[in-house]
């Protein structure tokens, strides 16, 4: 098959179409910013009544993206663009910082944080979970990203009623790089969130084992006298196999998992 001759006129036409699409996208972003400005004016003093994050709405947007996406562009690229938009416009409503715990794989955690929150939001790195969580609690509108492994038993400090609690589990969709299991923690949110999976912590009783427990996912079983971390699907009951049970937030199922199970 012979090569198609170069058509300069057609190239010019296609580049003009690209420029027009780029201009439209920029215009829509500025239009979105105008809506956010009005939203800020309407909310007014309500901004101080808890963290401004909306994990439920964010998860819904990611699922819609996954369901309608098609073509040659990787879904991960589309999600990253939307994550940048969501994070930046949330920051415009109420500026916030992300406190990052690197754990055993700090470079991977940095990639995960930037994929999730973009480059507008300030990210401060910490050597341990305690310092990151204390900093977030002091600011009251900050987030913590902490790896499940390599940062100690940070979940023992979670308390949805007063302190930090989980609002997301990462990665929330496919990412174009090697990654780790991590959680996003936040101070109390300004509105209730019906998570897909609710988290609880509780003390393991003498002689008990959670290895065969089937009420949900035993994320970290713990041993006698230690605090276990358990995820319960929406509609399920809190674990009764533990002592001193505390609600610890929750998270939404990954967008690609929801899409493939539809």
58-74 per-position pLDDT tens digit: 999 999 998 999 999 99
- pTM (whole model) above 0.85: yes
pLDDT at residue 243 is higher than 60: yes
Q: Are 131 and 198 in contact (CB under 8 A)?
A: no
Write the Ramachandran bin of 24: left for phi over 0, alpha for psi from -120 to 50, otherwise beta.
Answer: alpha
For 179-198, how does the pLDDT look when each residue is reduced to its tens digit (9 = 90+)? 999 999 998 887 778 899 99
Per-residue model confidence (pLDDT) at position 12: 93
Per-residue model confidence (pLDDT) at position 49: 54
The set of residues, in sequence order, having a beta carbon less than 8 Å from that of 153 and lying 6+ positions away, is 220, 222, 226, 227
pLDDT at residue 42 is higher than 70: yes
For residue 222, name the pLDDT band (cuts at 50, 70, 90): confident
Domain range summary for the chain, segments of one domain joined by +: 53-260
Strands (E) located in the chain:
97-101, 122-126, 143-147, 165-170, 182-186, 197-204, 217-220, 227-233, 242-251
Q: Are 124 and 151 in contact (CB under 8 A)?
A: no
């Amino acid at each position: 098959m012979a090569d198609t001759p170069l058509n300069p006129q057609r190239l010019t036409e296609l580049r003009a179409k690209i420029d027009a699409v780029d201009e439209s996208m920029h215009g829509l972003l500025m239009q979105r910013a105008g809506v956010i400005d009005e939203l800020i004016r309407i909310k007014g003093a309500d901004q101080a009544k808890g963290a401004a994050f909306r994990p439920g709405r964010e998860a819904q947007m990611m699922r819609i993206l996954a369901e309608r996406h098609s073509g040659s562009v990787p879904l991960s690229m589309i999600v990253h663009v939307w994550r940048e938009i969501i994070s930046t416009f949330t920051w415009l409503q109420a500026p916030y910082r992300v406190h990052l715990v690197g754990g055993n794989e700090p470079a991977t955690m940095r990639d995960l944080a930037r994929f999730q929150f973009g480059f507008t939001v300030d990210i401060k790195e910490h050597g341990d979970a305690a310092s990151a969580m204390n900093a977030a609690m002091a600011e009251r509108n900050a987030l913590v990203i902490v790896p499940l492994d390599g940062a100690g038993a940070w979940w023992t400090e979670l308390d949805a009623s007063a302190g930090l609690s989980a609002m997301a589990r990462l990665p929330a969709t496919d990412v174009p790089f090697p990654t780790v299991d991590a959680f996003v923690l936040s101070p109390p949110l300004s509105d209730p969130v019906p998570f897909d999976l609710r988290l609880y912590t509780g003390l393991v009783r003498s002689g008990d084992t959670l290895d065969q427990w089937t009420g949900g996912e035993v994320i970290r079983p713990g041993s006698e006298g230690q605090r276990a971390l358990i995820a319960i699907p929406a509609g399920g009951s809190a674990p009764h196999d533990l002592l001193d049970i505390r609600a610890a937030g929750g998270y939404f199922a990954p967008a690609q998992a929801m899409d493939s199970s539809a």
